[in-house]
Structures are given as C-alpha cells and as structure tokens.
Amino acid sequence: MSELTVRAVELDAADELAGTRKQFVLDTVSDRAADAAGVYLDGNSLGALPAAVPGRVDDVVRRQWGALRIRSWDESGWWTAPERIGDRIAPLVGAAAGQIVVGDSTSVNVFKALVGAVRLVSGGHGDEARDEILVDATTFPTDGYIAGSAARMTGCTLRPVTPAEVPGALSARTAAVLLNHVDYRTGRLHDLPSLTAAVHAAGAVAVWDLCHSAGALPVGLDEHGVDLAVGCTYKYLNGGPGSPAYVMVARRHQDSVRSPLTGWTGHARPFAMEETYEPAPGIDRMRTGTPSMLSLLALEAALTAFDGVSMNDVRAKSLSLTSFFLDLADEVLVPLGFEPVTPRSPDERGSQVSLRHPSAYGVVQALMARRVIGDYREPDLVRLGFAPLYVRHVDVVVAVSELAAVVAAGEQDDPQYAVRTVVT
C-alpha cells in the first residue's frame, strides 16, 4: 500500500479543506501520515465532535443556565435560537434566510411537513382530486412509518414507489411526494431538480429528506424550487447525538402551510396564552414546543465548523474521497469478496460508500476492533461515510488496508465479532 499512501498524501496536500480538520476532536496519534488509531468513517449516523462545542456547552450550563437562569431566554437569545440557527443551516442547503426553523426530531418534522404539504393542495382532509401520497419505497423506515400516519390523518392513500418510478406514478390524485435526497443504504444521490420539477408539473408538493446530504454536498433548495424539506443535524452537520432536526418551508408557502402540531411556540402570540390557536407568521408557525436549549446551542457551536467553507469545495472533497475509495476497493477489496453497491457516477453518489459482503456484520465489528469506525446496515452492507471536513485520503488507505486484513485473517467469522449482541 506504500504507493497508495504516497498518492493519498499528495491528494491531502492539495486539499482545500485540510485546515477544517483541526476544528474537530479526533482520536488520532498523528496527522503526518496514515495510521489506524481512530479513523472515523461512520456512515454517517454521528458526526465527529467539533472542538467549539465543549466550551459552548460549558458556558450555556454554567453562565447562561447557572447564573442568568430564566433571563437567558432574552439576554442569551434562547427564544430566537430556533430561527437563528435555522439561518445558519440555510446556506448549507441553498435556502434563503427565514425559511428554516430548528427543533423537534426528524420524525416529528417529517410528519409536520408532509401533512402540511397535503393540506396545501387538498384543503386538509384529502379530496377526490388529491388523495394520494407517494413515498420513497427505499426510504429509511421512519419516513415510511410517518408517511403512513400522515396519510391516515389526511384521508389519503399511501403509495410506496422508488424514486425512479415517481415520474410515472404521478397523477392528478397526487397530493405530496416524500423523497430522500441520498439513499441511506446505498449512498445513491437522487435527482432532486428533475424529480421536484416532475412533482410540480403534476400539481403536487415535494417534500425532501436531507439527512444524508446536508453538510456533504450542495442541495439548492431555492434554486430548484423545493417546497418543504426536513433533515437531522447529527450526521454531516455534527450537532451531536440526538441534536434537533429542522424543517424548511419555502417562503411562497409560509402564509398557507398549516402544521398538524399546533404547539404554543408556533402561536402568533405565544405569551398571550389564548385559548384559540392562531399560527405565527412565516417559518415560526412550524415551531411546536419549548426548544431543547442545551442540544440546540451545542448545534449552533458545531455549525461554526462550516464558517468560510464553500459547499462546492465540500462536494469536490467528498467526490475525491469516495472515488479514491472505490478505486482502491476495486483493486484490493473486490477480489476478497466485497461488492460496492454505491453508484460510480459522481452525479449519482452522495458522500458514503456501501459494500456488500455476506459477513458484513462481523466485518464491521472486527474493523472497529482495529479502530477504524464504520457501520452496518441490514442485511449485508458495510457502510462507510466520508465527512469532507475531517476525513483524509490517508484515512481511506487505512480503511481499505484494515478491511482487507480483517477478511484475510477471517476475523469476521470469529464469534466475538460475528455473533450479534448489540444494535449498530
């Protein structure tokens, strides 16, 4: 692997984003060259810890909560944090300010966005003209579960279809379409511009799940006319475990969209404590309950890692990393029984690579024992995420080398790795 390491070092030397790595807390012995002491390629269920977060959380706990206490809702800007942090996320997904609010989980926001989307075109209860929701049949399970709940609430029929089938499945009955920008299993990047255009041509509303794309590639929500979008913040945005999700509503829909969860913080006059609900103007109406300030403000600190970073540079780095890995996989891993399932075309690839292997679970566990962190997806996928802000090309060489070593030694079949005892 020495020639590959030399090539990786050359690529890292030319990396426009090399300096952003220092903004993260990473378990490595040396940044001089490749080593196996903490290569982090989780794909990507939890981003690495940004160095700015611990100090911010300490300040929030000790000063804002400990000293200022209730005054922090005003003096520390707690009350306006959901919109303020939404405006920090907005340029990362190609949206203008005032269209994103942060709070609740991804599942809750999918429900709010999808029901709101149906109500935009059907009046809220489904009707003969618009009584069907299309959902990505390959989606992460929670999106399918939530879509079913949204269909029951709105009187719609739920129809699962693959993204490729969406244009042919659209009809005058379609109210809304829920799609994933990047497939969580395979890393396939779906064509957001053309699919959104097809949904609009059918008179329906497009809702996009950005969990596996936000922070890893340009999304272009405004450019491509996306109606509503949701996403988590603990993957490529590095907000921390369970950090709050966000919902985006295009400005043209904000006066009409109606959330099914009409909580007090989304009221036009939240402190008036009125018996009758009146939605707040703008994106504020998508707020529900009291925001979780510790995790919300940790996220705000985490997002500083993107300050001054171009999403075009992020995308270029992502493609360089994943292309380099796929090239090495063809040379080293395919002969050992691995099968890449992630698309080779840059236009169809997110920032992860998935490899099929019959003993994938054991492979991932043995790999982690070698301090190269990936993850596993049912039934047979090794999934590796390449976060452009902190992953290096030398890390790619280490990952390929260790994967090869695991299989060459048969470690994936060792009972300590092959017998599943925990959920990953």
Question: 139-157 pLDDT, tens per residue?
Answer: 999 999 999 999 999 999 9
Q: What's the confidence (pLDDT) of residue 30? A: 45
At 22 the pLDDT is: 95
Please determine, for residue 314, whether its predicted confidence score (pLDDT) is greater than 90: yes
Taking the C-alpha atoms of 75, 76, 80 and 85 in order, what is their torsion angle to the nearest 10 degrees? Answer: 160
Task: Say what the pLDDT of residue 335 is.
Answer: 97
Please work out, in degrees rounded to the nearest 5, the angle formed at the alpha carbon of residue 82 by the alpha carbons of 79 and 87: 125
**Residue range 110-119: mean pLDDT, rounded:** 98
With pLDDT > 90 as the criterion, what percentage of the chain qualifies? Answer: 91
Question: Do 272 and 337 lie in a common domain?
Answer: no
Q: Which of 290, 306, 322 is the last residue of a domain?
A: 306
In three-state secondary structure terms, 330 is helix
pLDDT recorded at residue 45 = 85
Q: Range of 163's domain?
A: 79-306
How confident is the model at residue 35, as a pLDDT? 46
Name the CA dihedral angle for 397, 403, 407, 413, rounded to a multiple of 10 degrees.
170
**In whole angstroms, what is the distance from residue 48 CA to residue 134 CA?**
34
- Contacts (Cβ under 8 Å, ≥6 apart) of 130: 118, 121, 122, 156, 172, 173, 174, 175, 203, 204
pLDDT, residue 424, reads: 45
Does residue 260 sit within a domain? yes
- Measured distance CA(154)–CA(38) in Å, rounded: 48
Tell me what pLDDT residue 43 has: 73
Of the residues 119, 235, 370, 377, only one is catalytic, namely 235
Range 370-379 average pLDDT: 94
Is 266 in contact with 227 (CB distance < 8 Å)?
no
Based on the fold, state whether residues 99 and 198 are members of the same structural domain.
yes
| pLDDT for 125 beyond 80 | no
In the listed set 306, 339, 367, which residue is the last one of a domain according to the structure? 306
Q: Give the count of beta carbons closer than 10 Å to the beta carbon of residue 108.
A: 18
Residue 302 belongs to some domain of the structure: yes
Q: Specify the pairing of strand 132-136 against strand 157-161.
A: parallel
Q: Are strands 246-249 and 228-231 parallel, antiparallel or unpaired?
A: antiparallel
Mean pLDDT of the 297-306 span: 98
Catalytic annotation, pick one of 287, 317, 370, 383: 383
> Does 134 fall in a domain?
yes
Band (pLDDT 50/70/90 cuts) for residue 231 is: very high
**397 contacts 36 by C-beta, under 8 angstroms:** no
- The predicted-structure confidence for 394-420, as pLDDT tens digits, reads as follows 999 999 999 999 999 999 999 999 887
Q: In one letter, which amino acid is 423?
A: V
Residue 422 pLDDT exceeds 60: no
Q: Please determine, for residue 196, whether its predicted confidence score (pLDDT) is greater than 50.
A: yes
Q: 365: Cβ–Cβ under 8 A, 6 or more apart, which residues?
A: 376, 412, 416, 417, 418
Residue 140 is among the residues annotated as catalytic for this protein: yes
Query: Is 157 part of a structural domain of the chain?
Result: yes
Q: What is the CATH number of the domain that holds 374?
A: 3.90.1150.10
Number of structural domains the chain divides into = 2
Burial class of residue 389 (count of CB atoms within 10 Å of its CB; 0-12, 13-18, 19+): buried
Please provide residue 25's backbone torsions phi and psi, each rounded to the nearest 5 degrees: -90, 110
Q: Which of 12, 42, 143, 209 is the catalytic position?
A: 209
Residue 241 and residue 46 in contact, taking contact as beta carbons nearer than 8 Å: yes
104 and 189 share a domain? yes
Rounded mean pLDDT of 319-341? 97
Torsion sign across C-alpha atoms 261, 264, 265, 267: positive
First to last CA, the chain: 30
Burial of residue 301, with CB atoms counted within 10 A of its CB: 0-12 exposed, 13-18 middle, 19 or more buried: buried
- The answer on 138 and 211 residing in a single domain is yes
In a domain, 237, yes or no: yes
Q: Are residues 23 and 172 in the same domain?
A: no
Lowest average pLDDT, out of 17-31, 220-234, 356-370, goes to 17-31
60 domain-assigned: no
C-alpha 181, offset from chain centre: 9
Tell me, yes or no, whether 112 and 228 share the same domain.
Answer: yes
Average pLDDT over residues 24-53: 76
**Mean pLDDT across 325-352:** 97
Does residue 209 carry a catalytic annotation?
yes
From 24, 40, 111, 140, the catalytic residue: 140
Return the structure tokens found at 149.
């709940």
pLDDT over 50 (residue 124) = no
- Residue 4 — pLDDT band, cuts 50, 70, 90? confident
- Same domain membership, residue 38 and residue 91: no
Do residues 370 and 299 share a domain? no
Last-in-domain residue among 306, 337, 358:
306
Residue 31 has a CB neighbour count (10 Å cut-off) of 13
- Residue 70 forms part of a structural domain: no
Looking at the predicted structure, is the pLDDT value of residue 132 above 90? yes
- When the pLDDT of each residue in the chain is averaged and rounded to a whole number, the result is 94
Residue 29 has a pLDDT of: 43
Residues 342 and 206 both lie in one domain: no
> Do 295 and 342 belong together in one domain?
no
Q: Are residues 230 and 203 in the same domain?
A: yes
> In terms of domains, do 267 and 342 share one?
no
CATH of the domain at 117: 3.40.640.10
Q: 8 CB contacts (<8 Å, ≥6 apart)?
A: 34, 324, 392, 393, 394, 396, 397
Choosing from 24, 111, 234, 306, which is the catalytic residue?
Answer: 234
Domain membership of residue 299 (yes or no) is yes
Q: Residue 128: its pLDDT value, please?
A: 58
